């Protein structure tokens, strides 16, 4: 009651504001005000000092008036139990500010106004906390006068508010359903109320492949899990389903050394080649259908499957043509069936040249293209393909944007340009030798006298050096 | 090293068109970089800007220790102006590559002293950014001898002040701070493991300015749970200051447009808990369920045929074929007869 009188002494404006504040603020605050008005009767002494502070701070009217009661309440309880604050600092603050919670995120919201005046009150002796903990070392970033921070901050007030909020939150947390585990009491948290944005958009629903659609329509159940290893009848071991022909379970006719010729088979065809080609076509079909499924699902750009198929067909055609050409020209040994048994035996060669070709083919059909294979004593030197160096591909092809590589590329083109513009040593040498001579004339290399370059004769000595050409400065590109 | 969206697309295309699959470990990692139904903790990237003072560096180091193991601190200075398009592109790239979705960029210059830009990304693009000017800072090292939190423990967060809900900027900032400091989103928690509290107090400090700019005080306290002397079930916390304490105010903001925000907040349908509609419990305590089947198209269904049926099919077909051939034979005979009648001699004699 004394509190209300004190405020009435002030201007009418403030009175109105008090009423406004009390009605506008949350209902909880109002109930608090009622609570505190009772406790106010106990300690009227402090109110005098509070009134003084009120009169000082006229800037923030609303705050002062409405949160005044709260702060006074806190102060009073501070004095009431000073000893307990050493041990448990929640006792210093009464349970006057109710918080709202989001237990799923371990959050608590104290939506009551903060008394800025109280917070930035300087030089208060009640702030024992400041000395004890906050003055152990100077802060990493000091609050300068230029900054907007009013110094010093009332740490004890902040701590008190924190403690209160935490106690309330813990109380709520301990109310949750729990179960005992060997690590302790496990509480089941409810779903979080505060919604936070996601990192990535949610995954799109999976599109069914063509087969899956068909299976769904016809009611065909999926295959089910396959076991990792299968018993291989031939070797009597447990092997994986996939792998090389040696390590595969139930490898099949590709690995058998002898194959029967069945009714509908052509006896002249290589059955293993036939099997390999069949497998290739199956693999190609599989990749194509996978690409089409991916296109339908949107994982792949539309049209890539068609492009891939076109490319594959093109390449195959080219390969076939090249092979035919080589065989016709006699560069490659005849493949497969012996020469005399073939129908088109006219173009096929027999005898030494054919054998030599066949030998060359076999010698280079190793992993290292015949470079490191041992040679028998007395064997003539092998005629290997000399162009077995690794090609340096254009970075635009490989997609390699290695800076070092780009620099060398740029350097290369610069070198070429400088050579064209300024002339290189090699070219000078060649000119002297007579490569660029258009006629017979000894020292004028550019002059074409119609006699032909073949009859060019390089002169010795000073005459061979040619006309003294104007020395031009090499331009720095 | 998460792949950028372009790289991911290329890799996928290569795989589908018959490329070699990466190792199992790599595949597992790549799966975590793709979008998931339920997301885990947000990785954070801590960067230095164009020029960074020692004090700002300690701020980043403290942030990393608080957010460990989800935080990554880069040591080099980056020429990034965050409120620029180019800068945002760099940030997007760096956050993608470091598996981070939340970032903090520290810098210091005369115009903006002790600057900290905090932000987050959505779908590998910048979503929100807030520039904070730090007025006072007490690092973990400024509280020697006092107990500190354990690495990786979840904090109790607290927001004090009414300004958090009244000011639009602070509303979003609150959301961002929760995102930053929340840690792992969990369903259940061992309560005795809670050991620290982070309190953000916002106060309006109107000092001569026309518009009061709120100052936010971040305080971190180490919490020791003590038994309630009054004899309640829940413990009572004993708070001691520890860890980073920061007083800052908001300088510039660049929040997401409402469309992008809506997109980012969209949750997938699978996450919502669905009520089981087809289960009922009767008075005897028995749970009864109802199965709702779709309309079954029996005609187009194919079942597995037994051997007898297959043989029967074969025989039928053979019969039909024979019948057809008979017909053709008869037709031929008829034609033959006609021919003979017409021309006097049979076709076969020709």
Contacts with A171 from chain B: Cβ below 8 Å: 232, 234
Q: Residues B116, B132: contact at Cβ < 8 Å?
A: yes
Other Cβ atoms less than 10 A from the Cβ of B128: the count is 23
Please say whether the beta carbons of A365 and A348 come within 8 A. Answer: no
Distance in Å, alpha carbon of A149 to nearest chain B alpha carbon: 6
In this complex, do A299 and B12 lie within 8 Å of one another by their Cβ atoms?
A: yes
Q: What is the pLDDT of residue B214?
A: 86
Per residue in A295-316, pLDDT (tens digit) is 898 888 888 888 888 999 999 9
Closest CA to B255 of B175, B159, B346, B163: B175
A461 φ/ψ sector (left φ>0, alpha ψ -120 to 50, else beta): left
Please indicate if any CB of chain A lies within 8 Å of the CB of B204: yes
Name, in order, each residue with C-beta under 8 angstroms of A23's C-beta and a sequence gap of 6 or more.
Answer: A30
Categorize the per-residue pLDDT at B91 as very low, low, confident or very high, splitting at 50, 70 and 90.
Answer: very high
Q: Range with the lowest mean pLDDT among A31-35, A202-206, B95-99, B251-255?
A: A31-35
Rounded Cα–Cα distance for residues A453 and A441 (Å): 9
Best residue in A62, A153, A198 to probe B by mutation, most B CBs within 10 Å?
A198
Give chain A's radius of gyration (CA, Å): 48
Q: Rounded to a whole number, what is the distance in Å from the CA of A188 to chain B's nearest CA?
A: 4
Q: By CA distance, what is A191's nearest residue in B?
A: B187
| A106/B154 Cβ within 8 A | yes
Proportion of chain A in helix, strand, coil states, percent, rounded to 5: 45, 5, 45
**B11-20+40-268: CATH homologous superfamily?**
Brix domain (3.40.50.10480)
Between B232 and A271, where is the model more confident?
A: A271
Q: Which of A110, A148, A217 sits opposite B160 (nearest CB)?
A: A110
The tokens describing B315, both together, are 């025989």
The whole-angstrom separation of Cα B112 and Cα B134 is: 10
Determine whether the interchain pair B234/A174 forms a contact, defined as Cβ–Cβ distance below 8 Å. yes
Q: DSSP class of residue A131?
A: I
8 A C-beta contact, residue A164 and residue B233: no
Q: Which residue has the higher pLDDT, A94 or B290?
A: B290
* Cα A43 to Cα A165: distance, rounded to the nearest angstrom: 26
Please identify which residue in the block is written with the tokens 């958009």: A201
Using an 8 Å CB-CB cutoff, list chain B residues near A134: 138, 241
What are the residues facing B122 on neighbouring strands?
B125
Contact residues, A window 64-103, toward B, CB-based 8 Å cutoff:
87-90, 99
CB count, 10 Å around CB of A88?
19
Q: Do A110 and B159 touch (CB under 8 A)?
A: yes
Is A189 in CB contact (< 8 Å) with chain B?
yes
| B261 neighbourhood in chain A, CB within 8 Å | 197
Q: Mean pLDDT, chain B, as a whole number? A: 89
Cα(B183)–Cα(B15) distance, integer angstroms: 35
* Residues 34-63, chain A, touching B (beta carbon < 8 A): 59-60, 63
Higher per-residue confidence, A467 vs B11: B11
Please tell me whether residue A102 adopts helix, strand or coil conformation.
strand
User: Looking at the complex, does the CB of residue B101 fall below 8 Å from at least one CB of chain A?
Assistant: yes
Which residues of chain A are within 8 Å of residue B294 when distances are taken between CB atoms?
none
Best residue in A166, A221, A291 to probe B by mutation, most B CBs within 10 Å? A166
Angle at the Cα of A227 from the Cα atoms of A226 and A233, rounded to 5 degrees = 110
Residue B266 touches partner A, C-beta closer than 8 Å: yes
C-alpha span between A158 and A110 (Å, rounded): 12
Closest Cβ opposite residue B247 in set A108, A153, A186: A153
Note whether A408 contacts B: Cβ–Cβ < 8 A: no
CA A372 vs CA A358, A375, A381, A386, B14: distances in Å: 19, 9, 13, 14, 34
Q: What does each of the 477 residues of chain A score in pLDDT, given as a tens digit?
A: 444 444 444 444 444 444 444 444 434 343 444 344 443 444 344 344 443 333 333 333 333 333 333 333 333 333 333 333 334 444 444 457 788 899 889 999 988 888 877 777 755 545 566 667 777 777 777 766 656 666 677 888 888 899 999 999 999 999 899 899 898 889 999 988 888 999 999 988 889 999 999 998 888 888 889 899 999 888 899 999 988 888 899 888 888 899 888 888 778 888 898 999 999 999 999 989 989 998 898 888 888 888 888 999 999 999 999 988 887 887 776 666 565 555 555 555 567 877 777 777 788 888 888 888 888 888 777 777 666 666 566 666 666 666 666 677 788 888 889 888 888 888 888 877 777 777 666 556 666 666 665 666 665 655 555 555 555 555 555
Residue B131 has pLDDT above 90, yes or no: yes
Which position has the token pair 């779908």?
A: B123
For an interface test with A, the pick among B30, B189, B242, B249 (most A C-beta atoms closer than 10 Å) comes out as B189
What does A237-280 look like in DSSP terms, one character per residue?
Answer: EEEESSS-TTTBTT--GGG-S-----TTS-TTS-HHHHHHHHHH
Set of chain A residues whose Cβ sits within 8 Å of the Cβ of B236: 88, 90, 167, 170
Which chain B residue's Cα is nearest to A174? Answer: B234
pLDDT tens digits, one per residue of A253-265: 888 899 888 888 7
Closest Cβ opposite residue B229 in set A88, A106, A181:
A88
Interface A-B: count of C-beta contacts within 8 A: 280
Question: Rounded CA gap, B242 and A386, in Å?
Answer: 73
Q: Which residues contact A103 (CB under 8 A, 6 or more apart)?
A: A169, A172, A173, A176, A189, A190
Q: Is A312 on the interface with B (CB under 8 A)?
A: no
Mean pLDDT of the region B6-33: 87
Give the pLDDT confidence score for residue B348 in this predicted structure.
73
**Torsion of the alpha carbons at A452, A453, A454 and A455, rounded to the nearest 10:** 80
As beta bridge partners, residue B218 has B200, B246
Residue numbers in B near A99 (CB within 8 A): 158
Cα A462 to its chain centre, rounded Å, is: 68
Which of A141, A168, A171, A291 best tests the B interface by mutation, with the highest count of B CBs <10 A?
A: A141
CA distances, B94 to each of A215, A278, B90 (Å): 44, 48, 6
Res A443: pLDDT: 58
Among B158, B106, B103, B134, residue whose Cα is nearest residue B215: B134
3-state secondary structure A180-232: EECCEEEEECCCCCCCCCCCCCCCCCCCCCHHHHHHHHHCCCCCCCCCCEEEE
Report yes or no for ipTM above 0.95.
no
What predicted TM-score, i.e. pTM, was given to this entire model? 0.62
Six-digit token pair at A400?
């390699």
Residue of chain A nearest B124, judged by CA positions: A200
DSSP codes joined into one string, A18-54: HHHHHHHS-HHHHHHHHHHHHHHTT--HHHHHHHHHH
A264/B102: higher pLDDT: B102
Q: Give the tokens for residue B308.
A: 């007898």
Q: Write the CB contacts of B32 (distance below 8 Å, at least 6 apart in sequence).
A: B99
DSSP conformational letter for A179: E
- Using the Cβ of B21 and the Cβ atoms of chain A, whether some distance falls under 8 Å is answered with no
3-state secondary structure chain B: CCCCHHHHHHHHHHHHCCCCCCCHHHHHHHHHHCCCCCCCCCCEEEEECCCCCHHHHHHHHHHHHHHCCCEEEEEEECCCCCCCHHHHHHHHHHHHHCCCCEEEEEECCCCCCCEEEEEEEECCEEEEEEEEEEEEEECHHHCCCCCCCCCCCCCEEEEECCHHHHCHHHHHHHHHHHHHHCCCCCCEEEHHHCCEEEEEEEEEECCCCCCCEEEEEEEEEEEEEECCCCCCCCCEEEEEECCCEEEEEEEEEECCCHHHHHHHHCCCHHHCCCCCCCEEECCCCCEEECCCCCCCCCCCCCCCCCHHHHHHHHHHHHHHHHHHHHHHHHHHHHHHHHHHHHHCCCHHHC
Is the Cβ pair B185, A174 closer than 8 Å? no
Supply the pLDDT for residue A471. 53
Is the CB of residue B16 less than 8 Å away from at least one CB of chain A?
yes
Between CA A387 and CA B48 the distance in angstroms is 52
pLDDT for residue A45: 40
- Above 80 in pLDDT, residue B116? yes
Instruction: Tally the residues of chain A.
Output: 477
CA distances from A94 to A70, A71, A75, A99, B142 (A): 10, 11, 10, 13, 30
A450 cis-preceded (ω within 30 degrees of 0):
no
The predicted model gives B122-147 an average pLDDT of 91
Q: Does A177 touch chain B (CB under 8 A)?
A: no
Q: Which of B140, B153, B139 is nearest to B223 (CA)?
A: B153
The angle, 0 to 180 degrees and rounded to 10, between the axes of the packed helices B5-16 and A271-297 is 150
Would the CB atoms of B238 and A88 count as touching at under 8 Å? yes
Q: Is A392 helix (H, G, I), strand (E, B) or coil?
A: coil
Cβ of residue B233 closer than 8 Å to a chain A Cβ = yes
Output the furthest CA–CA distance in chain A (Å, rounded): 131
pLDDT of B48 > 90? The answer is yes
How many percent of chain B have pLDDT more than 90?
55
Question: How far apart, in Å, are the Cα atoms of A80 and each of A85, A450, A451, A473?
Answer: 10, 124, 125, 98
- A21, A94, A106: best to mutate for the B interface, most B CBs within 10 A: A106
User: In this predicted structure, what is the pLDDT of residue A47?
Assistant: 40
| Contact between B192 and A184 using a beta-carbon 8 Å cutoff | yes
Closest CA to A433 of A451, A455, A450, A457: A457
- Structure tokens of A373? 């294979």
Give the C-alpha separation, A320 to B35, whole Å: 46
Contact indicator for B143, A133 with CB cutoff of 8 Å:
yes
């Amino acid at each position: 009651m004394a509190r209300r009188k004190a405020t009435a002494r002030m201007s009418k404006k403030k009175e109105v504001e008090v009423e406004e504040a009390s009605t506008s603020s949350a209902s909880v605050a109002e109930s608090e005000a009622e609570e505190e008005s009772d406790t106010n009767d106990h300690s009227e002494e402090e109110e005098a000092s509070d009134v003084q502070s009120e009169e000082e701070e006229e800037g923030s009217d609303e705050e002062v008036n409405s949160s005044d009661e709260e702060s006074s309440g806190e102060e009073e309880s501070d004095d009431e139990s000073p000893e307990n604050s050493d041990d448990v600092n929640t006792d210093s603050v009464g349970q006057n500010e109710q918080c709202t919670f989001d237990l799923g995120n371990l959050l608590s919201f104290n939506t009551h106004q903060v008394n800025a005046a109280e917070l930035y009150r300087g030089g208060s002796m009640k702030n024992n906390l400041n000395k004890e903990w906050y003055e152990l070392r100077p802060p990493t970033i000091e609050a300068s006068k230029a900054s907007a921070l009013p110094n010093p901050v009332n740490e004890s007030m902040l701590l008190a508010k924190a403690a209160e909020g935490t106690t309330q939150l813990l109380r709520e947390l301990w109310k949750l359903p729990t179960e005992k585990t060997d690590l302790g009491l496990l509480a089941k948290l409810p779903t979080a109320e505060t919604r936070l944005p996601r990192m990535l958009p949610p995954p799109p629903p999976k599109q069914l492949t063509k087969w899956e659609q068909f299976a769904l329509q016809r009611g065909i159940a999926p295959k089910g899990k396959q076991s990792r290893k299968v018993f291989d009848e031939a070797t009597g071991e447990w092997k994986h389903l996939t792998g090389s022909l040696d390590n595969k379970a139930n490898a099949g006719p590709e690995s058998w050394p002898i194959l029967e010729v069945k009714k509908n088979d052509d006896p002249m065809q290589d059955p293993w080649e036939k099997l390999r080609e069949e497998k290739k076509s199956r693999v190609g079909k599989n990749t194509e259908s996978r690409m089409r499924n991916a296109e339908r699902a949107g994982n792949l750009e539309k049209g890539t499957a068609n492009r891939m198929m076109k490319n594959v067909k093109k390449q195959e055609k080219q390969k076939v043509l090249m092979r035919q050409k080589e065989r016709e020209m006699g560069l490659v040994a005849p493949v497969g069936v012996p020469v005399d048994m073939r129908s088109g035996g006219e173009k096929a060669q027999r005898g030494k040249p054919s054998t030599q070709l066949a030998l060359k083919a076999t010698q280079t059909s190793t992993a290292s293209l015949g470079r490191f294979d041992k040679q028998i004593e007395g064997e003539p030197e092998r005629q290997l393909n000399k162009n077995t160096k690794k090609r340096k591909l254009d970075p635009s092809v490989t997609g390699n944007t290695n800076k070092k590589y780009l620099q060398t590329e740029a350097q290369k083109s610069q070198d070429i340009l400088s050579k064209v513009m300024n002339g290189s040593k090699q070219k000078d040498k060649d000119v002297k030798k007579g490569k660029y001579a258009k006629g017979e004339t000894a020292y004028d290399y550019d002059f074409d006298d119609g006699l032909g370059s073949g009859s060019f004769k390089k002169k010795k000595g000073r005459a061979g050096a040619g006309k003294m050409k104007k020395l031009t400065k090499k331009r720095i590109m | 090293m998460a792949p950028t969206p372009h790289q991911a697309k290329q890799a996928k295309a290569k795989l589908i068109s018959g490329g070699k699959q990466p190792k199992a470990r790599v595949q597992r990692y790549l799966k975590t970089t793709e979008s998931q139904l339920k997301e885990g903790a947000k990785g954070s990237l801590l960067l230095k800007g164009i020029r960074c003072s020692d004090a700002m560096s300690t701020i980043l180091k403290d942030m990393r220790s608080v957010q460990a193991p989800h935080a990554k601190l880069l040591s080099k200075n980056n020429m990034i102006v965050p409120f620029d398009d180019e800068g945002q592109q760099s940030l997007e790239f760096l956050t993608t590559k470091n598996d981070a979705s939340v970032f903090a960029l520290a810098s210091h210059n005369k115009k903006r002293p002790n600057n900290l830009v905090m932000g987050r990304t959505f779908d590998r693009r910048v979503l929100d950014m807030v520039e904070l000017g730090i007025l006072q800072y007490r690092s973990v090292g400024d509280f020697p001898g006092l107990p500190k939190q354990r690495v990786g423990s979840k904090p109790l967060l607290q927001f004090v002040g009414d300004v958090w809900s009244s000011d639009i900027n602070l509303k979003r900032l609150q959301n961002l701070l929760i995102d930053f400091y929340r840690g792992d989103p969990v369903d259940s928690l061992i309560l005795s493991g809670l050991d620290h509290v982070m309190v953000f107090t916002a106060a309006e400090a109107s000092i001569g300015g026309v518009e009061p700019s709120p100052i936010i005080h971040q305080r971190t306290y180490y919490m020791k749970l003590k038994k309630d002397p009054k004899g309640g079930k829940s413990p009572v916390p004993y708070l001691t200051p520890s860890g980073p304490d920061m007083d800052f105010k908001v300088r510039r903001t660049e929040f997401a447009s409402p469309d992008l925000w809506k997109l980012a907040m969209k949750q997938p349908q699978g996450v919502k808990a669905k009520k089981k509609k087809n289960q009922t419990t009767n008075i005897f305590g028995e749970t009864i369920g109802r199965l709702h089947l779709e309309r079954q198209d029996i005609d187009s269904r194919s079942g597995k045929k037994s051997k007898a049926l297959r043989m029967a099919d074969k025989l039928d077909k053979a019969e039909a074929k024979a019948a057809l051939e008979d017909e053709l034979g008869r037709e031929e005979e008829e034609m033959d007869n006609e021919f003979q009648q017409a021309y006097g001699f049979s076709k076969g004699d020709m």
